[in-house]
Structure 1
């Protein structure tokens, strides 16, 4: 149910309504693309990109420390609550953004992103505590699919309201868009209460003290050493790092590709986002089922092969219908690869460890750094060659490296999860 609660941020704030509103509002107020940010002149879209990158940088630095602290004190749920409320309140704060107060919008968007990413570190770490290893795949898939369903419901409600301002006796949609940001914060915080009320964790005898920060770093160093010494963990995380560069970049840049390369209007781009999220529900369950019939490794390799096809196919997409087909295929493997990557990693964590949050924070940092490198590479190649199409070909190379590294991973059986030390 926490996926149901927080996924509305990802689709409404991160991917659809807020970016469109932010661009329109700042252009209207500043009479162009260049905005004034604390006295600095910056292109509005570049400023927003920098804000998201900065939020990933902050959480990449903080999450290993915080998760180590959470493991030591047994307070994973408390940290999860803190980041949830930080993210939800920040989304509510975006209601007060009208165009001229761009600093407020950037600060709120940074805090919302930190809240979202930070809460996921602790949320993911609960998977080994609430489900047995043989149920990890389906429980993880159920979480992702519920997230897609919840986010689609709220997105559709908001889009219907924005498309019909006359229902509310309004001449424009600006106030309705701002109310949609308010709805995200309320939805996120409200439905998270189901999780917080039901979720329990083992009690710890350790109490917060002045040495807690040192202990957090020691926990992180311990996990780094474990990953380096365990061949299967090392190769899986390396594979995950490379293919996440491709997966996350496609998710962030899909709408921009459709807008810039195909000149698709906003309504068609929003339709594309809906297609991706609806199909992702099917994909999450389909590949979880495939992993049950075969293995996690087989299912992941199948998806990575499809991702390479996506990158190659994108180079030849020139019409809206071709773009919809591409979106359908992306949705099919987007939910599956995120869900199965999370559950596969949970199976590779040493069975007797108590440092689940530290292990998942390492996983989360790898994904965040991959986002930074992947999106930078995408933009650099476009800047260098003048076309996003060339960037999509480059993404295919990330997936190819991911396949090569994943082939070297020897998955342990569920009956014997003790991993061989290389």
Structure 2
């Protein structure tokens, strides 16, 4: 078994980002939303014995429902995983659930099969986000505290590189379907299968290297009840550990901004600025490429400045993104170039803030064997932030009829995160 701090172990762990990040880029952000919109445009669809005049709302509700499911089950399953020493089994299960569900989107081929698209969208989202809980929980078990910033950044870098490669392959198929003797719609459906195969296939490298039950747990038969008790103990510890509690509050506030912008950026560009689909995909690719550099640079800066100072710089930059987006207008000359520039700025701090929050949280954990349970709180914090962020964004859009005010409002959450982070006491590994 590879020991903690071993380069092969860290690389094997980081490779899961290479495997699963294709879901977040191809399915959540780029290809599937455009495919879904094209299929359901100007259509009324049936789902759960109801008629939906606005299918985009149905898709949004499906994602929100999946986030709530993950927020509910992850602390419970994590408590059981920690008590039984079975993080790897849970991670494998959700990886297979996500990968097979994504591939099953192939069977969503028209308005009559929207129910297939919605059900497997929910299951794929649950598989992706739930597997991340157990994946993140491995960070303190594969890297020493002084290695964790670089290890976390390496994971995100792998993820951005892998997802960009597969997205480019899929875009070639979708833009030039004649080369493959297929239609554009079939090219999109094949891309869903490729994502599922990529995710499950490359994840096997990670599963081969990750340790299983490093604490040699010997669970009793009533492990479900004991798992709940494990969860209760961790809740009490989090509440009694002010530095960790404050960091989770700061993380919650910045996640409202970060995750909402990531999810709504393409819609903002399309609806508010009137940009065509290809311009949006170019921007998405640009964000991914720049994010590779951002994750690398900030992992080095955190070693020089400390995690807290590096995080503050990223938060201020996100606030700048919000103010810049507020000033954009579809009637501006060359507005698409301003949007590209905003994408570069956003990309530079997107990978950085996600990587740094993960490694900082890992460093703040007390000496414990309950890593999955602790990281489930991290995950639940993020999921609730997504639900609240998208709700606030949508509510302000409904009130003002402008997404620019919605984006500007997100700057307030970043400011709150900055202020809370300012009160954090320095620790041995977090300066």
- Counterpart of 1:72 (choices 80, 83, 100) is 83
Q: Partner of 1:420 in structure 2? A: none
Say how many residue pairs are matched. Answer: 408
- SS in structure 2 opposite 1:41? strand
Residue matched to 1:288: 299
Quote the offset at 1:224 in angstroms. Answer: 1.6
Shift of 1:179: 0.1
| 8 Å contact from structure 2 (residues 215, 369) kept in 1 | no
CA RMSD of aligned residues (A): 1.1
Q: Deviations over 1:110-136 (max 9, x none)?
A: 000000001000000000000000000
Distance across 2 between alignment mates of 1:317 and 1:308: 15
TM-score (ref. length: structure 1): 0.95
Query: What are the ranges of 5 or more consecutive residues in structure 1 without an aligned counterpart?
Result: 418-422
- State yes or no: 1:368 paired with 2:383: yes
Q: Distance in 2 between matches of 1:307 and 1:387?
A: 20
Query: Alpha-carbon deviations, 1:91-116, whole Å to 9, x = none?
Result: 11001110121111100000000000
Report the Cα distance in structure 1 between the residues aligned to 2:232 and 2:416, rounded to whole angstroms. Answer: 27
Shift of 1:203: 4.6
SS of equivalent to 1:16: helix
Contact residue 311 and residue 356 of structure 2 kept, 8 A: yes
Residue among 41, 58, 61 paired with 1:50: 61
Deviation per residue, 1:69-107 (Å, 9 max, x gap): 110000000000000000000011001110121111100
Structure 2, unaligned stretches of length 5 or more?
A: 1-14, 330-334
What's the counterpart of residue 356 of structure 2?
Answer: 340
SS in 2 for 1:300: helix
State whether structure 2 residue 28 is matched by structure 1 residue 14: yes
Shift of 1:33: 3.7
Contact 2:83 2:217 in 1 (8 A): no
* Partner of residue 219 from structure 1, selected from 212, 220, 230: 230
Distance in 1, matches of 2:393 and 2:223, equals: 40
- Is 1:154 aligned with 2:154? no
Correspondence list, 1:170-209, <5 A = 170=182, 172-201=183-212, 202-207=214-219, 209=221
Give TM-score, length-normalised by structure 2: 0.93
**Structure 1 CA distance, aligned partners of 2:180 and 2:91?**
37
Query: Which of 267, 271, 279 pairs up with 1:256?
Result: 267
In terms of mean alpha carbon deviation, does 94-103 or 150-159 score higher? 94-103
Q: In structure 2, which of residues 378, 397, 400 is the aligned counterpart of residue 385 of structure 1?
A: 400
Matched, 1:356 2:371: yes
Match of 2:117 among 71, 94, 105: 105
Q: 1:400 aligns with which of 388, 394, 415?
A: 415
Does 2:44 align with 1:39?
no
Q: 1:378, 1:408 → 2: CA distance? A: 28
Shift of 1:208: 6.0
Which residue number in structure 1 is paired with residue 424 of structure 2?
A: 409
Tell me how far apart the structure 1 counterparts of residues 226 and 420 of structure 2 sit (CA, whole Å). Answer: 32
Residues of 1 paired with 2:141 and 2:118: CA distance? 36
Q: 1:143 aligns with which of 149, 155, 168?
A: 155
Q: Distance in 1 between matches of 2:40 and 2:108?
A: 10
Instruction: Say whether the 8 Å CA contact 2:133–2:376 is kept in structure 1.
Output: yes
Deviations 1:164-208 (A, max 9, x none): 1111223x3011100000000000000000001111131533236
Give, in whole Å, the separation in 1 of the partners of 2:229 and 2:356: 29
